[in-house]
Structure formats: structure tokens, C-alpha cells
A and B are shown apart, each in its own frame.
Chain A
Amino acid sequence: MLRLASLVIRPLIALVGAVILNMAGNGIERKNCVVRNGIHITKQLNGKQRKFNHEIFQNGTIKEAKEMPNSTTKRKRRSKESFEKVPLCTAIMTYLGFYLLMFLGYINRLFFTPKVAKERNREGYAPLYDRFESFYLQYVYRRVRDCWNRPICSVPGAEVVLKDRMTPDYGWTFQFTGTTTKCLNLGSYNYLGFAEATGPCASSAAQAIQEYGCASCSPVQEFGTHPLVVELEKLTAEFLGVEDSIVFGMGFGTNSLNLPSLISQGCLVLSDEKNHASLILGLRLSGATIRVFKHNNMKDLEKHLKDAIVKGQPKTRRPWRKILIVVEGVYSMEGSIVKLPEVLELKKKYKAYVYLDEAHSIGALGEKGRGVVDYYGCNPKDVDILMGTFTKSFGSAGGYIAGSKHLIDYLRVNSHAACYASSMSPPIVMQILTSMSIIMGKDGSLEGERRIRQLAQNTRYFRRRLKKMGVIVYGNEDSPVVPLLVYMFSKIGAVVRTLLERKIATVGVGFPATPLMEGRIRFCLSAAHTREQLDMALDVLEEMASLLGLRYSQLPIPDDEVAYDDELE
């Protein structure tokens, strides 16, 4: 009878304790122990204390996990990706926090008028703005609005100069204080460090302005194709290892304007859950049927493919005209890398096409910097449509699509962007030409190799140190995008503001870019960061983790020392 009572009472105490522990867990220092349900256990694996020496190779798989002698377990292939689940009490408190925000937003709206422009003379017309969206903007986002849209005064390299502003009325209006702050830049997509104001890229771009002018002033199908663009297309095709390529002036526009010309009604598109807004926009504009499969889940993708082929189109049961699988190389919000070998295997088995969006992965992954195809060692001719942007790793702007000559010839005639959008301007093209030749090693120096290696070292070092801190970090171990989960809305604002005080500029992301429960801080590493800068940032982050309570991880902490020049092969 007493045992029964204790069986009932213990979960009750655990629940109450969990809520208090959430606060306590934020404050208590974690030493080498794991906290599970409020009970501390020492690091144990399979009942024995063990030490691991992981050998991780640069391509996407782990060859083996070398164990110290005196242990008798079998070797398993450990996944390089980790997406830890949210602790229950944190999820509860995040929900409660949002309810509180909504409640106070309604009270605010009841008693005070918001300082926004009012719609006038709208009787009889549909409203201009979505009600919930404007409510969220005015009463939730507005409170921490000073963390976003910060103006910069310098080139966003390894360090960036931010213009300070203050808000006298809690986020409704802003005023510049007149001062600037120089911060370590962990928010720009500057993976190979080509965002420089001086150097070979910048001087060649200035030279191109002298020769060709500032803008091309014409779409591609009219007078917009100047010799630099032709050279760039050839160089991009050589860089990626395919037959031909076509370049456009805007990366977002490349996706949204070219997908409608490739697919239409009667085609099926299987797109990943976490695809970018440009892909979703392009797919919706095309009019094809879109089915979403779970993020990076190959079983789900296979199930959808089988269903599509067996059942055909919904009403007529005819076979689909085309089946296109749309995936990204590196997902910028998750930090995960697509499982490309499995996708290509499925594509060949079920005769589908693959559209690979390498916006973040081109230049940043792989031994030679050729992207996710290089990272896995796959054949680039297997992927039907390779798309990418020049914004992230090449320090420029614009996008490309590469593939077989047949495809590119078709796009030259039929793409909306080629017909209506103006082509890339000469200095931008020159910047890409110079940076791409540096990466390929064509300028004769080892600069490209050095940058790729530095980025890989920085990534590995940063991620391992973060894992040792006990914070939850999503994604693959090799991706230079590092999302650190903070879950709660107040913590996003608190972390970004406190990091800015310590001279580190980062990006906090919340709803609607991420799911409601998963607020995160995203770090983008760069080859321009030196080891000292990363050390400084990590020390500040360690202090933040204790001060603001970010140590949510419940996995065992590895206790090996993290050295900067760890094994690279």
C-alpha cells in the first residue's frame, strides 16, 4: 500500500521538482555529470566507465571508433548529426511564456493604442494586414526588435562595426546614439572569408568597373551578356565538374524564377520539410503538386516515392509527368547536411530527378571546396540540377544553375530570370571570378587550400568546444552553420543583447523562421576567424551559459581535451 502510494507520489514530486529544477538547472554549474529527471548519475555507458577515441574522417562517414583496450562492446557507426529533444520542463515554460506574452498583448491592445499607422477609409474592403501577424509583430516581436536589422558601417568580415541605437519607448522607435561598436562577426555568411575591402578580389573588382562600367543595364536575353559573364559560366561549370552553367543576378530569384520553368502542373515535387522560402515560393508559383517529406528522412522519402509511382496523379490515376526531389546541401537553420548518397540511390531506383540547392554548402564543404557533392565523393553528373548562390562563400551576390548542356540551353531560352531580370553587373562577376580562381588554385598560390582547411578546423574546434559546454547544438559536425538552441523567447533577446555588450555580433532566430518552441542563436563560422577570436567567443559563451542558463543537454559530455589542430584526414 505504501509502495503504491510512493509510485504515485514520486512522479508528482518529479513534476513539481522539474519546474523548479528548470530554474535551478539554469543556474547550477554542470560538472562531468548527467542530470536526468533531477537525479545525478555519473557518466556510464553500458554499465562501465569507458573512454572513446573517435576517428572522424573528412568525408561524411565515420570509419571506426577506436576504443581503449579492456572494453568489449561491438563497433557501431555513430551518426554525425545530433538533434536532441527538448527537455520537458523547458517546453512547458516556453509555452507558458508565449501564453503570457499573448495575454499581455491583448491587455495592451485593450488599453493603449499602438504607435502604428492606421488604415483609413477601409469600410467595405478586405483588411490589408493579417490580424494575427500584425498582433505578433506589434506585441511580441516589437519588444526585442533591437536585436535585428542593425545597421553596419564596415565590410562584414571577421569583425564588423555596428551602429549603436537606443529605443526610448521599448521598441516602437529607434534613435542613433552616434557611436559605433566593433564586434566579432559571427553572423555573416562569410564562410571562406572573401568579404574583404582590400586584396586581390577587391582590386580586380575595381578594375572591372573601369573596364566594363557599374551595371549591365539589360536582361540576359537582350544585351546583358558581357564577356565576364561568359567566362564566369565556363568557370562555374569547371568548378562543379559539369557541362555548362547559367548565372543570375539574385540568389533568391534564381530559385523562385527558374523552378516554374522546369516543372508545371502534372508534375510531383517532393520537397524537404525545412526547405528555404525561395524554394517554396518557386514551387508554389510553378503549380506542381508538392508533397513534403520529413527532414532528411530517407524512409519517408522512399515511402512518398513508392506511393507516387503506384497511385499516380490524385484523380485521374495517370502517371506523373516528372518527379522532382528538392533538397538543400546545408540547411541554414538546422545545420544539417543532406544525405546525398541515399538520395541519389533512391533517385536512380525510382527514376526521379534531383534539384540540389547548395546555397550554403558550395565552397564551405568538401576537401576542395566544391560543395556537398565533393564532401560525399559523389559524381556531380548524377545530380540533375545543381543550384547555388555566390553570396555566401564567394563574397558576392547572385546565383547559378549548373547541369547538362541540354538543361542549360533550355533555361537560357525559357527561364523567367533570363528573360526579364537584369544580368549580373561586372564588378560582382569579377569578384566571383577572382575568388573562384583562388579556391581552385588557379592563381598559383595555396591560399584557397589554406582557407578551406582553416574553415574545417574552425568548424570542428568550435563545435567540439560547444559540445563540451553542455549546450544543445543541432546539426552535422562538419557544417559551418552552428545553431545553439535556447528555446525560450526571452532568452533569445537576452543572449543577443548580452553578447553584443561583450562585442560579439550574432543572429537570434525565433518564430516564424523556426518552430515556435525552438528559438536559437545561429553562429556562422568563417575562415577569416583566427583561433584567438574563437577562443574569446567561446569563453564569453561559457560565461553566458552559466549566467543565463543555456545548458540543456542531457547527453554525456566527452571528456577528451579539444585541441585546435586535431586530426584532419
Chain B
Amino acid sequence: MIDKILKFLSYWYLQYELVTCLYVFEPWEKKLLNGIIVIIIALVSYSTYAYLPHYTVSLLSHFNLLNPETGDYQHQIAHVHGSSPRAY
């Protein structure tokens, strides 16, 4: 079972190495490039997690595409006019 998963993962890692030309590099170069890619992915995912939900909500409400939530008519106008994050 673990064998199968390992085989699956190593197959896809080989494909990744071949497509990005990492296959021909020496081990230290591979670590360097993989490290750079991992750092970029980590930064992108952190900023997605931190900023995307709020940004999506404010974008949609700016275009009035957000479903009218119960009450909060004032709240929606306040959002349209100012875009500072508000703690709840």
C-alpha cells in the first residue's frame, strides 16, 4: 500500500523533473531550485489565505453582486464608500 503511494509519487516527481529540466542538474542545484519554488508557493499561499476572502467580498459588494444579506443595508453602504477592514 505504502509502496503503491511511493511509486505514484516518484512517477509524478520524475515527470516534474523532466518537464522543468531539473533532471540534468546536480543535487545541490536541484535543492536550490526546489527551495526557490517552495518558497514562492509558500508566499503565494500565505497571501491567498490572508487576503483573498476579504478582497473577494469587497470586490463583489463594490459591483453590487453580493446577495443582499439580512438587514445590514447601512453596513453595505459603508463598505461601498470605504474599504478598510473591519474586525467583527
Contacts and interface: CB of A to CB of B under 8 A. Distances in A.
Do A and B make up one complex?
Answer: yes
B63 to A, nearest CB: 11
A494 B16 CA distance: 13
Nearest to B11: A27
A26 B19 contact: yes
Interface residues on A, range: 20 to 34
Interface stretch (A40-48, A91-99, A203-211, A455-463): A91-99
Nearest to A97: B21
A452 to B, nearest CB: 39
A192 interface: no
Nearest to A143: B24
Contacts of B17: 490
A303 B68 CA distance: 69
A101 B15 CA distance: 18
- Dominant secondary structure of chain A at its interface with chain B: helix
A98 B21 contact: yes
Given A100-B33, A104-B29, A143-B25, A93 B20 contact: yes
A108 B23 CA distance: 17
Interface SS of chain B: helix, strand, loop or mixed?
Answer: helix
A491 interface: yes
A488 interface: yes
Interface in A66-121: 93, 96-98, 100-101, 104, 108
B15 A26 contact: yes
Question: Interface centre among B16, B17, B20, by most A CB within 10 Å?
Answer: B20
A42 to B, nearest CB: 26
B69 interface: no
Interface string B1-24: 000000000011011111111111
Given A100-B33, A104-B29, A170-B26, A488 B21 contact: yes
A549 B24 contact: no
B34 to A, nearest CB: 12
Contact of A100 (B11, B12, B21, B26): B21
Contact of B24 (A22, A27, A93, A144): A144
Contacts of A548: 14, 18
Contacts of A100: 20-22, 33
Contact of B15 (A104, A108, A170, A549): A549
A26 B18 contact: yes
A27 B21 CA distance: 16
Nearest to B30: A104
A493 B20 contact: no
Contacts of A489: 21, 24
B23 A27 contact: no
Contacts of B24: 101, 143-144, 489-490, 493
A23 interface: yes
B23 A93 contact: no
Contact of A549 (B18, B21, B26, B33): B18
Given A100-B33, A104-B29, A23 B23 contact: no
A96 B15 contact: no
Contacts of B12: 23, 27
Contacts of B16: 23
Interface of B: 11-12, 14-26, 29, 33
